[in-house]
Structure 1
């Protein structure tokens, strides 16, 4: 079979294919490569890919032709490589592609160049983005933008596993907006939603990056805090209570004051996550019984206000 047969065979592929020699000069450029890049074979063949004509970059914008070129690495060590990169299209835009590189050898087995096969990755990226969007939607409370009950359950499972594996304790804190029914009855559900969103934002902005605030349901929130001591949980929870009490919602000519009751507990060795949740929930009940706008943490005999 002659070279023309193999050329026609490669031109029939839907994947882009091109060859380079050891000087990184492009020696072959198939029809799919023309379609995906906008460059014809006449514009590419004979040019050096080191001239950065295709300008492959990674997700962080690093130009791979200058640093970390898969083709160059493959010609160096003979290993096959795969990568998700972005190619510069002739018309100026970036095209996400999935590339695979392999060495080209002569009859003696000596590397004489490399071949890159690349596929349009746009649809795959769209699917990934859609899945991420759906995942976020499924795990996010739409009113507040923080995690929902399902996300709280997932986080609890993760903290529980970490506790069992490494013995690192975690804290569970419940927060319940005080007199929320009265707010709804007097000002309406729209204002009630504003109050819930305001409290959620307050909780989220105070916490550390690894701490998680979720809407447990209605006007109740749960805060999950990894790697914290009992005394630390008392300090954090009191700070949350104080900042909520210093917040408000403006509606028409009125300023609506908001407070919340808090109850928390620290995980114990061998204790199931839901047992920690139950203990924290009992502490929340004690805060409500004590007059609201206060903190009760399991192991503490006093509340703070």
Structure 2
């Protein structure tokens, strides 16, 4: 049966929609005979609409498990997949004889007027889907991560800070903020060059990754400034946390073996705790004030306001 024959006007729009979808659509009746085959199915498997119509779904597609090519799907397997309603990666037979990896979801349908029943198979290119998903992940990485240090960036910090503030307002869970700045970083760049200045930034980023807790949010705010969010909420412990980071950096110079250079550097830190009524700007302003205090008092120190 050709679906286009006698199709009533109410369904013409939906029929055109099925034909024009980017995903491959194959519709089979309850006897597993193909009654609809859209253009993407022709492109993916090279069987024309005329060739596909009326053919056995099982025989034409020869669906096989992507995890075990010897596992050929029978009618009962297709009915089970339709019942489960899950997306499955399968191999389909191309007209030329080779296998094509596809992702398929199988749904059942029943026409309430005629009682006609059948199956709708929705296919997409598994490789293309994987490529798209990988591309999305790469774009997220570009959007939210600093490529030099590997740390999350300013945009990511802003999102995480809003989450922390929301939890603080709703559940009264305080959190600490540390603003870290490399002392005399311009002098480092001027003396050793920007490439070696980048190594200093990378070294600090690596220290923040290895010397903080897993749930601490470590970010590069911009330039030589870094920001940490931590669930430490005791002022003394927060200051001690900053002091520990400061001491580690002071005792860990960056070695440049190919040039025989050793770069000693230090950091200054401003620390604060979240307060009722805080927003991102007020929190960072207090941190910045405390960082300025550390710089004014000689650098290589930690200052806090609670």
- Same fold (TM > 0.5): yes
1:8-87 alignment runs, 5 A limit: 13=19, 15-19=24-28, 21=30, 26-28=32-34, 30=37, 33=41, 35-36=43-44, 45=56, 47=58, 53-55=63-65, 71-72=79-80, 74-75=82-83, 84-87=87-90
Query: In structure 1, how many angstroms separate the alpha carbons of the residues matched to 2:166 and 2:222?
Result: 24
Please state how far the C-alpha of 1:112 moved relative to its aligned partner.
6.1
Query: How much does 1:33 deviate?
Result: 4.4
Alignment of 1:175-194 (within 5 A): 175-194=180-199
- The one-character-per-residue Cα deviations of 1:119-141 (angstroms, maximum 9, x if unpaired) are 44766665554444333323322
**Retained in 2: the 8 A contact 1:18–1:115?**
yes
**1:225-264 correspondence to structure 2 within 5 Å:** 225-226=230-231, 228-251=233-256, 252-264=259-271
- Contact 1:169/1:228, CA 8 A, preserved across alignment: yes
Q: Is the 8 A contact 2:148 2:198 kept in 1?
A: yes
2:108 corresponds, among 93, 97, 102, to 102
Q: 1:212 pairs with 217, 220, 240, which one?
A: 217
Q: CA deviation at 1:55?
A: 2.0
User: Distance in 1 between the 2:140 and 2:197 partners?
Assistant: 27
* 1:273 counterpart residue number: 280
Tell me if structure 2 keeps the 8 A contact 1:71–1:116.
Answer: no
- Verify the 8 A CA contact 1:249 1:255 in the aligned structure 2: yes
TM-score by length of 1: 0.71
Q: Secondary structure at the match of 1:210?
A: coil
Counterpart of 2:272 in 1: which secondary structure? Answer: strand
Superposed CA offset, 1:94-151 (max 9, x none): 3345x35123479885x96533233447666655544443333233223222222232
For 2:254 and 2:103, locate their aligned partners in 1 and report how far apart those are by CA, in whole Å. 46
Q: Does 1:295 align with 2:306?
A: no
2:150 maps to which residue?
145
Distance in 1 (alpha carbons) for counterparts of 2:262 and 2:226:
23
Structure 2 alignment gaps of length 5 or more: 8-14
Query: Please, what is the CA RMSD of the aligned residues?
Result: 4.1
- Structure 1 distance, partners of 2:147, 2:285, is 26
Q: TM-score, normalised by structure 2?
A: 0.71
CA displacement 1:181-234 (0-9 Å, x = unmatched): 222222112111111111112112223333222222221111122464434423
Within 1, Cα distance between the matches of 2:45 and 2:260? 60
Query: Secondary structure of 2:293's partner?
Result: helix
CA contact (8 A) 2:106 2:119 kept: no
Contact 1:204 1:213 (C-alpha < 8 Å) held by counterparts: yes
Q: 2:151–2:219: 8 Å Cα contact kept in structure 1?
A: yes
**Contact 1:16 1:36 (C-alpha < 8 Å) held by counterparts:** no
Query: Which residue of structure 2 lines up, in the alignment, with residue 199 of structure 1?
Result: 204
Structure 1's 176 and 41: CA in aligned 2 closer, same or farther, altered over 3 A? Answer: same
